């Protein structure tokens, strides 16, 4: 949930009118599915066994964020390292493998609880905003695209409120959190393309004084999320963020998805492993970027150089930072790449711009070999790629492609069981059920982290102790990650290859479904 390029400076320079609104809505749904279904770091059809194999070489390649100021005292790095579930001297990769081995299909999803002895849970108090001796209050922001009609038009399930209630009910019936406390939630419908609505709802949540806020694609831009950081309210992001945003936002931003820089790094290095840049088929690369995050572009170009793509072999075109770039601007990039003799094209901009590129390229009879990554939500399930994109490759740290490929991991199975047991529709497809599955992942991540803290958590200890001691987090539709040291606030530590299937118009897993350790 990348600080999604699609949504960067979304209204500042984007076209006006209904076309922008509807395109923005489509991108929002893409965000949901990216987090909900893209192959995250390490979950697959065989669950723990496959992740264990991947984790054995993992090095927690997601962002590690330096500490910054906070109203609560920080936990010393040594304390987090020695007191957590990972013994001193054990690598993060080995810890991930151990955590994976201890996980089983029967304990997946939100129903999994962390046992505590009576002594560990003695003396429960109201230790933080939103935490009493008996309850933990969480606010949840749910995507709301101008009401049910807008949501339905883009396959966003209309029963998100009921899904959240179902998952929380399951948590409370299976041990609760933080030594048996019950989870209480307050839900807000938030329009991610209405800055006024986002700000107003954020201020309402600040007044609620919850322990944390969990976002289900209501806040998908750095600007919109800044309200929570400014008010020192922990916020579980639903889209990727650049390392700079995570650093400035520490210790209030955390989540599953790999940092934006890692997404493009995975793309360049992963495609190179597949022979994407190998001659004689590869001669020249058309690189389509945008100006939203220069540091991400620098990371991508540096890694292209690492794999041997020389500057003379790159024709780079940089779009302005817009939600939906004008077609004539994208066409300039297409024509530049075609004239330069590009045989391959790497798309590193928003999914809307990337898809329009393939359409315009086909109209110009320009059909290069395509490659991309999670960046800009290009691996989302919602797609309007041109038919010439068929066979395109992507390197992804998310579970996109699982259900499209007939893979149901234990976490998705657990989420499906919870929903159907509560009278809701289960998890059937990536396109239709992403938002529901994402809620399972998000609440499960919160539970796993807060249960690693002592009996009376504070907001700071939740991040510095709970999150950093969480070990391997396994998602059903988002990204897996190894959380094993202070400052590790996002996942996405593994990757695998996807290929676009023109028959279903969707991404499928290419080759073995197992994830590899991140670059």
SS3 sequence of 396-430: ECCCCCCHHHCCCCHHHHHHHHHHHHCCCCCCCCH
**Position 43 in a domain:** no
Task: For residues 42-54, give the mean pLDDT.
Answer: 32
Within this chain, do residues 70 and 173 fall inside the same structural domain, yes or no?
yes
Within this chain, do residues 115 and 203 fall inside the same structural domain, yes or no?
yes
**Position 186 in a domain:** yes
Q: How do residues 479-492 score in pLDDT, each as one tens digit?
A: 999 999 999 999 99
Q: What is the 3-state secondary structure (H, E, C) of 303-359?
A: HHHHCCCCHHHEEEEEECCCCCCCHHHHHHHHHHHHHCCCCEEEEECCHHHHHHHHH
Within this chain, do residues 502 and 484 fall inside the same structural domain, yes or no?
no
User: What is the average pLDDT value for the chain, to the nearest integer?
Assistant: 81
**Position 184 in a domain:** yes
What percentage of the chain exceeds 70 in pLDDT? 75
**Position 283 in a domain:** yes
**Position 10 in a domain:** no
**Position 39 in a domain:** no
Say how far apart CA 214 and CA 221 lie, in whole Å: 15
Task: For residues 419-431, give the mean pLDDT.
Answer: 95
Those residues whose C-beta lies under 8 Å from the C-beta of residue 450, and which sit 6 or more positions away, are 136, 177, 178, 457, 462, 466
* Structure confidence at residue 63 (pLDDT): 56
User: Which CATH number belongs to the domain containing residue 368 in this structure?
Assistant: 3.40.50.2300
Say how far apart CA 468 and CA 238 lie, in whole Å: 19
Which phi and psi angles does 160 have, rounded to 5°? -60, -35
Q: How do residues 356-395 score in pLDDT, each as one tens digit?
A: 999 999 999 999 999 999 998 899 877 789 999 999 999 9
Within this chain, do residues 270 and 370 fall inside the same structural domain, yes or no?
yes
Within this chain, do residues 345 and 472 fall inside the same structural domain, yes or no?
no
Task: For residues 119-140, give the mean pLDDT.
Answer: 95
Within this chain, do residues 338 and 436 fall inside the same structural domain, yes or no?
no
**Position 42 in a domain:** no
Task: For residues 78-101, give the mean pLDDT.
Answer: 33
Say how far apart CA 456 and CA 178 lie, in whole Å: 7
Within this chain, do residues 505 and 424 fall inside the same structural domain, yes or no?
no
Task: For residues 10-14, give the mean pLDDT.
Answer: 37
Among positive and negative, which fits the CA dihedral 385, 27, 349, 499? negative
Task: For residues 411-427, give the mean pLDDT.
Answer: 97
Task: For residues 183-198, give the mean pLDDT.
Answer: 94
* Structure confidence at residue 378 (pLDDT): 93
Q: Which helix (H) or strand (E) holds 268?
A: helix 260-273
Host domain of residue 226: 48-258+406-493
Within this chain, do residues 212 and 122 fall inside the same structural domain, yes or no?
yes
CA angle 403, 446, 374 (to 5 degrees): 40
Say how far apart CA 478 and CA 440 lie, in whole Å: 10
* Structure confidence at residue 232 (pLDDT): 97
Within this chain, do residues 489 and 341 fall inside the same structural domain, yes or no?
no
Looking at the structure of the chain, the number of domains it has is 2
At residue 204 the predicted structure's pLDDT band, cuts being 50, 70 and 90, is very high
DSSP-derived secondary structure for 179-221: TTBEEEEEEEEE-TT-HHHHHHHHHHHHHH--SEEEEESS--S
Longest dimension (CA), the chain: 72
- Does the pLDDT value for residue 125 go beyond 70? yes
* Structure confidence at residue 239 (pLDDT): 86
Q: How do residues 49-60 score in pLDDT, each as one tens digit?
A: 333 333 333 434
* Prior bond of 197 cis (ω within 30°): no
Within this chain, do residues 78 and 221 fall inside the same structural domain, yes or no?
yes
Pick from 32-41, 61-70, 150-159, 220-229 the range whose average pLDDT is largest. Answer: 220-229
Within this chain, do residues 185 and 273 fall inside the same structural domain, yes or no?
no
Of the listed ranges 117-126, 222-231, 459-468, 471-480, the least confidently predicted one is: 117-126
What percentage of the chain exceeds 90 in pLDDT? 67
**Position 1 in a domain:** no
Say how far apart CA 366 and CA 338 lie, in whole Å: 6
Query: Do 198 and 221 contact (CB within 8 A), yes or no?
Result: no
Within this chain, do residues 364 and 487 fall inside the same structural domain, yes or no?
no
* Structure confidence at residue 43 (pLDDT): 33
Task: For residues 63-82, give the mean pLDDT.
Answer: 44
CA angle 45, 48, 50 (to 5 degrees): 65
**Helix ranges (DSSP H) in 111-194:** 148-153, 160-173
Q: In this predicted model, which residue has the larger pLDDT, 197 or 65?
A: 197
């Amino acid at each position: 949930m990348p600080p999604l390029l699609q949504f960067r400076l979304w209204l500042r320079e984007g076209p006006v009118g209904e076309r922008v609104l509807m395109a923005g809505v489509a991108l929002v749904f893409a965000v949901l599915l990216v987090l909900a279904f893209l192959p995250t770091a390490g979950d697959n059809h065989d669950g723990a066994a496959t992740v264990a194999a991947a984790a054995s070489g993992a090095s927690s390649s997601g962002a590690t964020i330096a500490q910054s100021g906070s109203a609560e005292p920080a936990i010393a790095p040594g304390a987090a390292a020695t007191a957590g579930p990972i013994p001193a001297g054990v690598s993060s990769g080995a810890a991930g493998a151990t955590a994976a081995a201890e996980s089983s299909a029967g304990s997946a999803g939100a129903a999994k609880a962390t046992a505590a002895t009576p002594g560990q849970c003695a003396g429960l108090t109201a230790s933080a905003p939103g935490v009493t001796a008996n309850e933990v209050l969480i606010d949840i922001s749910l995507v709301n695209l101008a009401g049910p009609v807008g949501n339905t038009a883009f396959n966003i399930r209309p029963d998100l409120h009921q899904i959240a209630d179902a998952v929380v009910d399951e948590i409370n019936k299976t041990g609760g959190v933080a030594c048996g406390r019950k989870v209480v939630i307050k839900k807000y419908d938030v329009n991610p393309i209405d800055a006024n609505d986002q700000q107003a709802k954020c201020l309402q949540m600040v007044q609620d004084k919850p322990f944390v806020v969990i976002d289900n694609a209501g806040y998908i831009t750095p600007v919109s999320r800044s309200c929570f950081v400014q008010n020192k309210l922990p916020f579980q992001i639903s889209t990727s963020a650049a390392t700079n945003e995570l650093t400035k936002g520490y210790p209030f931003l955390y989540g599953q998805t790999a940092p934006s820089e890692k997404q493009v790094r995975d793309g360049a290095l992963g495609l190179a492993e597949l022979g994407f840049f190998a001659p004689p088929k590869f001669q020249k690369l058309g690189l389509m970027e945008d100006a939203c995050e220069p540091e991400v572009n620098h990371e991508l170009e540096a890694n292209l150089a690492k794999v041997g793509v020389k500057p003379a072999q790159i024709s780079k075109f940089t779009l302005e930072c817009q939600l939906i770039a004008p077609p004539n601007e994208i066409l300039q990039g297409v024509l530049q790449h075609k004239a330069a003799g590009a045989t391959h094209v790497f798309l590193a901009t928003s999914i809307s711009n990337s898809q329009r590129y393939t359409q315009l390229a086909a109209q110009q009879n320009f059909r290069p070999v395509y490659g991309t990554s999670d960046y800009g939500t290009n691996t989302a399930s919602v797609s309007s790629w041109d038919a010439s994109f068929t066979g395109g490759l992507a390197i992804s740290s998310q579970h996109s492609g699982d259900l499209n490929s007939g893979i149901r991991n234990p976490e998705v199975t657990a989420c499906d069981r919870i929903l159907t047991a509560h009278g809701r529709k289960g998890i059937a497809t990536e396109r239709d059920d992403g938002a529901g599955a994402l809620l399972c992942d998000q609440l499960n991540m919160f539970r796993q982290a807060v249960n690693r803290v002592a009996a009376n958590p504070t907001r700071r200890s939740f991040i510095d102790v709970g999150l950093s001691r969480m070990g391997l987090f396994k998602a059903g539709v988002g990204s897996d990650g190894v959380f094993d040291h202070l400052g590790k606030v996002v996942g996405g530590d593994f990757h695998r290859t996807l290929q676009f299937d023109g028959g279903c118009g969707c991404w499928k897993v290419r080759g073995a479904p197992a994830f590899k350790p991140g670059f």
